[in-house]
Amino acid sequence: METAINQPITTEKSFSSTSKFLLEIPLYVYISVIASMCVILGILWDIAWHMSIGRDGLFSAPHVVVYVGAATAGIFSGYQVLKTSFWGTLVEKGKMVNFWGIFYSSLGGLFCIWGGIASLTSAPFDDWWHNTYGLDVEILSPPHTVLLLGLMSVQMGAMVAVLAFMNRKEAIVTLSASENANRFNRLQWLFITTAAFFITSIFTFLSEPLGRWAMHRPDFYQVASIAFPFILLATGRASGKKWGATYICLIFLFFHWVVNAVLRLLPAEPLLGPIHNKITTYQTLGFPLLLFIPAFAVDWLREKFSAMNDWILALILGFTYLFVLFVSHYPFGTFLHESPLARNWFWGSNSWSFQNDADWEYRFKFSPRNDISLSAWAEGMGFAILFSVVSSRIGLAWGNWMKQLQR
């Protein structure tokens, strides 16, 4: 059910100094959402840079986007901490988390501050790594792992910052009833958008085991069953919208596709040898997963069985998620990897790093390692079901926690 604003209008002064246009949502909340978008935008660009150009530096364009996004989130959140701690009222401090006995911050702000520091700390580490070992052959190199933790902390901070305001369900005295309803709806969509950016990050950093070439193996479904049900159910439940997880996955699909599709139109030339695939434009990650399909099924069942015990609900949702994922992505993998219709700008299946052999025999067909026996499939999918159910149960519990969060 959609959540309604039902608390009486509060007479306390809003601690947001923004105009009515922002509907009394503090500027740092909007900044954290924009920062959440910037960090994953920069990461997608950086991956395309590595696939297409190869040589980069500490202050290459994608790196700058990432660092600016992370730093901005940390700086604005830090300013909010200082402002509340030393110039805030008792009412304002009562809505914050007290730490070190002096400072007051929202929980989301703490995430953003830590994430900004971790992201910037990873920068010289990544530069040293490239100078010492050369171009990364995997996305999850040690410096990138540090960066990942920092960036996802920024994105988590953005989600939590929005949630704190959304869950209070305050009716601001300076706003009319319709404006208060609009404010709450805006907070819901800000949360849904930040959750979509968070899922984009998860998919991006797991793009190797979740690539189209893996969709005919149980490993793909195991990884996808660990990675996504918990966040889809948590954010879907916390969003307060019936189709929350579906909206999140549609925004993820659109954002990931648009960024990479635009990059594929831009000129790029390899600057690092050897060059095995001659290219003239950016090469990118392939088409994103169609997560909105299992998300739609999960949202429908979550609403239908909302009164059911969460353990039983997790069993139903976990099995449904995996079944729909398999039914939708096994044939989708065939299309993306083998069909000539997918080798174009829209689907992106012809994107191929300059370091990879352009004539590799398995570039557009599944290799023999995908020929798996029925018993191996049964065992692998059995584990995938288990992972999906456990991930779903964690997601439902996390969603309950998110719904209670107000600081």
Output helix, strand, coil percentages for the chain, rounded to the nearest 5.
Answer: 65, 5, 30
Question: What confidence score (pLDDT) does residue 4 get?
Answer: 45
Instruction: Give the span between the Cα atoms of 267 and 281, in whole angstroms.
Output: 4
Q: How far is CA 58 from CA 41, 278, 329, in A?
A: 17, 26, 38
Q: pTM to 2 decimals?
A: 0.86
Question: What confidence score (pLDDT) does residue 347 get?
Answer: 96
Written as six digits, the tokens of 53 are 């150009």
Contacts 24+ apart (CB under 8 A), 217-221: 217/369, 217/370, 217/372, 217/380, 218/372, 218/376, 218/377, 218/379, 218/380, 218/381, 218/383, 218/384, 219/380, 220/329, 220/333, 221/322, 221/325, 221/326, 221/380, 221/381, 221/384
For every one of its 407 residues, what pLDDT tens digit does the chain have, with 9 covering 90 and above? 444 444 444 433 444 444 455 767 888 888 889 988 998 999 899 899 989 988 666 677 888 888 888 888 888 887 787 777 887 777 766 777 777 777 777 777 777 777 777 777 766 666 666 666 655 545 556 666 777 777 878 888 888 888 888 888 777 777 778 888 888 888 999 999 999 999 999 999 899 899 999 999 999 999 999 999 999 999 999 998 999 999 999 999 999 999 999 999 999 888 877 888 899 999 999 999 999 999 999 999 998 998 888 999 999 999 999 999 999 999 999 999 999 999 999 999 999 989 888 888 898 999 888 888 899 999 999 999 999 999 999 999 999 888 887 77
- The kind and range of the H/E element at 19 are none
Question: What confidence score (pLDDT) does residue 143 get?
Answer: 66
